[in-house]
A = this chain, B = another copy of it.
């Protein structure tokens, strides 16, 4: 076991050597206190890895990114809110080229990358976005501003930073800004996550560890079961610290991504509760995933959570409807440590109902379903569905 120490840091991206970031408001967002165009820049070209949405209609910035080919380096990421540049066709990609040409006239950059979030189906306001290049401070370290600028219906900004000390006395830093809220779903719905590190990590480790981290974090959360056109998790590494250890990096990356995923879920539109749906004893892991994600996506389960109804009927019914191998004589259901259903204990008595009710009143708890069919296990994370969700999504145009 390699020794390392992970220490949380104040603030975000400014902790990482050689990285700069800032944001400004160019008039796409009415509230001028909050930016709508942000950047992340490294003083030397970075290796980059990214995981993108599984939506067939990937937005223009994702398609533009993929044109750079496999192992390109970059030193600049430009991010805008309020317009997703999605379903804009070849014109949407040309618009990015136009923006990048303008950027090249202002600043020496290598293979700049773009990322967008907002309304689908409208061309980017190129002039507005390019006007940012005259006012952005490319030597600033304003992580807060960047984190706030990329928000859509998020109610709070999401940023995290860690320092990792290795046993040889060297250390590296890692930090991220992230946005979520609404449309968060297994298979990475509308979320953007930008992770920067000064660790000297090889490109092949970046790809492997970013995918593994995504599978343990963003792919396990669900707000509403939809998957957007723009989801992106990106890892930038500039090697400035010269320190690296794979085990330590994997640990801190997983921790960082999991914490961000939980922040997204807590900020799910109108959500008040965070619930872990642990399915075990499934025939295999794939079946466990299927049942667990059916639970975290079920409207009836979500409204029962909001209503704090201890009845386990909707949980059982959702498992039965999920199509996985199950048997009501083998199934057990727990809320935290409280057994609320088993073959020999089917009817909920008043006392246990009262105990279950107290568990459900918490802001966080675990629903564990043991199917008793095999060894497959999977946990996904969901939130309740409140009046507020409907209000936000009826009134907000995505």
Closest to A394 in B: B307
A17 and B67 CA atoms in complex are apart in Å by 72
Chain B residues near A300: list those with CB within 8 A. Answer: 182-183, 224, 226, 393, 398
Contact check, A57 vs B328: say whether CB atoms are below 8 A apart: yes
Of A213-221, A246-254, A384-392, the one with at least 4 CB within 8 A of chain B: A384-392
Contact check, B88 vs A317: say whether CB atoms are below 8 A apart: no
Whether A262 sits at the interface, judged by CB under 8 Å, is: no
Residues facing B in A36-60 (CB within 8 A) are 54-58
- One complex includes copies of this chain to the number of 2
Contact check: which of B123, B187, B387, B395 meets A390 at CB < 8 Å? B387
**A374-389 CB contact bits vs B (8 Å, 1 = yes)?**
0000000000011101
Given contacts A120-B311, A311-B119, A347-B122, whether A390 and B390 have CB atoms under 8 Å apart is yes
Whether A259 sits at the interface, judged by CB under 8 Å, is: no
What is the interface size of chain A, counting residues whose CB is below 8 A from a CB of the partner?
67
Residues facing B in A277-300 (CB within 8 A) are 297-300
**A322-345 CB contact bits vs B (8 Å, 1 = yes)?**
011111110000000000010100
Contact check, B183 vs A341: say whether CB atoms are below 8 A apart: no
Contact check: which of B304, B309, B311, B390 meets A389 at CB < 8 Å? B390
Contact check: which of B55, B120, B317, B386 meets A86 at CB < 8 Å? B317
Question: Closest approach, in angstroms, between the C-beta of A396 and any C-beta of chain B?
Answer: 8
A263 and B320 CA atoms in complex are apart in Å by 26
Closest to A395 in B: B307
Chain B residues near A119: list those with CB within 8 A. Answer: 311, 313
Question: Closest approach, in angstroms, between the C-beta of A304 and any C-beta of chain B?
Answer: 7
Contact check, B228 vs A317: say whether CB atoms are below 8 A apart: yes
Question: Closest approach, in angstroms, between the C-beta of A349 and any C-beta of chain B?
Answer: 11
Whether A316 sits at the interface, judged by CB under 8 Å, is: yes
Contact check, B299 vs A393: say whether CB atoms are below 8 A apart: yes
Whether A227 sits at the interface, judged by CB under 8 Å, is: yes
Given contacts A300-B183, A317-B55, A398-B313, whether A341 and B121 have CB atoms under 8 Å apart is yes
Question: Closest approach, in angstroms, between the C-beta of A185 and any C-beta of chain B?
Answer: 8
Chain B residues near A314: list those with CB within 8 A. Answer: 120, 226, 398
Question: Closest approach, in angstroms, between the C-beta of A96 and any C-beta of chain B?
Answer: 16
Whether A89 sits at the interface, judged by CB under 8 Å, is: yes
**A118-153 CB contact bits vs B (8 Å, 1 = yes)?**
011111000000000000000000000000000000
A327 and B309 CA atoms in complex are apart in Å by 43
A312 and B304 CA atoms in complex are apart in Å by 31
Question: Closest approach, in angstroms, between the C-beta of A289 and any C-beta of chain B?
Answer: 16
Top 4 nearest A-B pairs (CB, nearest first) are A120-B313, A307-B394, A57-B320, A303-B393
Beyond A183-B300, A304-B394, A307-B394, 5 extra complex contacts between A and B, CB < 8 Å: A89-B328, A225-B297, A299-B299, A306-B390, A314-B398
